[in-house]
Chain A
Amino acid sequence: MLLTFIIEIFFLLGSIGFIWGLRLMSSPDTARKGNFYAGVGMTLAIIAALIMPLEGNVPNNYLWIFAALIVGTIIGYYSAIKVAMTSMPQMVSVFNGLGGACAVVLGLADVLHYYDGTKVVDTLGFLTVLLTLFIGGVAFTGSIFAYAKLEDLVDDKKVTLPKHSVINMIMLAGLIGLGAYILMQGEAIGMEAAIIFLVISLIYGVSFVAPIGGADMPVVISLLNSLSGLSGAAAGILFDSQFMVVGGILVGASGTILTVMMCNAMNRSIWNVLIGGFGGTSAVGATATGGTVKEISLNDAAIQLYYSQSVIIVPGYGLAVAQAQKICKEIDDQLSANGVEVKYAIHPVAGRMPGHMNVLLAEADVPYPKLLDLDEANSALSSADVAVIVGANDVVNPAAENDPGSPIYGMPVLKVWNAKSVIVLKRSMRSGYAGIENPLFFHDRTKMLFGDAKDVLGKLNSEIKSL
């Protein structure tokens, strides 16, 4: 009795640790402590699960459990220590997938025991089993496929079938039908049906991520994050564990909120992201291009930056790809030393997962008060002397504001053209992820600086040094 009481207190404290931990995540000053509390919560729960009294003569199999816990911890720890900050989206995707896979395993074990008669499950219980298999399965294969996309192992265009959204709809309808059939038949049909259900769920995971790519990656990762949490919550119902339900639902809620935020940041509905993709519509972009592009020399750019009062840097994923955050910070230091106020304007979907750019700049020692979000940045831009755009494109496209024919019309963007002058660092005149022309490059106040971001910033840095 006392032991059960202590165990339940542990689970309760664990849940509180999660909630309090997430609450502390709302400020950079307390976030680290919050993560620690959540970790403590998890540890308490694992201890509780190890010693909690279970009904009947329990075999325990502690050898298996400890071996697995140690192996998992070591692999998790080392991959977390080794991973580069640019690869965070890949890492989060893989972890999402593992959580989903674990939920699938739990669901599968229940399926086995249901059909060999060692566990009695009622219809609603079996519905939970199917939900665990489905959500966990989609989170698993979807995340692994998202990882492959982020690593450029697959080509977005090659994996999208014609009428892809129709295929997905059919698969989903098939899953619902098959699920209903399994529930109605109960033990009358064999285990095969449940296995087929799982297999289709796994295929659906890949198929659902396949057509989404490029700039929509932050949405997909958030959504998969949410699914991995929900699969944990479903598995929690199977094991009658309030703790698992609380943890899973919190993650589900966090993933859902981030998904919605990312969609809002692109002015698109979640259905549009899941079904559409930019591919089909981008050609419609009726933007009249033309006009001439003005280039600026490194020397002129250096002088302009050095003698201005305020500079706002707009980093995009191009900056991260070129690994140019550190050079960027060096330029920042030199300008700041000359009394120039340097800030960074960060669009919510810059980078490949929510908040990715902030982490990359934090890694390069840029203090977080210098990082402005969309609204702060737009008010700061109207009084800025120079806006420097490094490797960003669609998020600074004025067509989103004033060209109703553009596919990104209505998307909230960074209004860099309100700054007194704009310098765009760009590899070439190629259009961005979405394949949309950017009239900003032809704007009166815009000057271009072509080349690899790291290379150009390096040269710019030495020019400034020699002033």
Chain B
Amino acid sequence: MSCQSYSTTHPTNPTNNVDAIAGVAVKVVAFLCNWCSYAGADKAGANQLPVPAELTAIRVMCSGRVEPTMILECFQKGADGVLVLACHPGDCHYKEGNLRAYCRAELLERLVPQLGVDPRRFRFDYVSAAEADRFSQITNEFVDQVRALAVRPFKN
């Protein structure tokens, strides 16, 4: 099953115009683990802390679930930045999934420049369920950084 066999990039799909309406210039995908970083994002909401509108979260149970190819696919499909946020080392709900994610991130940081993607467009970090401020800070910092970079040369 191809990833492109079905998607909302269908020419008649009016959501294509959403970003133009809202003035959103970049798109950033954040993979959040259910137990720590997604909970931290929820807490940022409960505390009404700012999170960039350009950031859309994809919830996974564990950061260890995120396949490196998924991150590459994000870039391929036009993401300007990809974040993976995990539980802090030692705090993983699944004991060590975050460490697997960390190992994969180490590789990806070296891999993405080979594909013509500025490594500053990818970030792996840790956010606990309590760190609402940190979630807000990291996401704003990262989206600011991505905004400051030139438009991706091979963005489709």
Partners in one complex: no
A interface residues (Cβ-Cβ under 8 A, vs B): none
Q: Which residue numbers of B lie inside 8 Å of A, CB to CB?
A: none
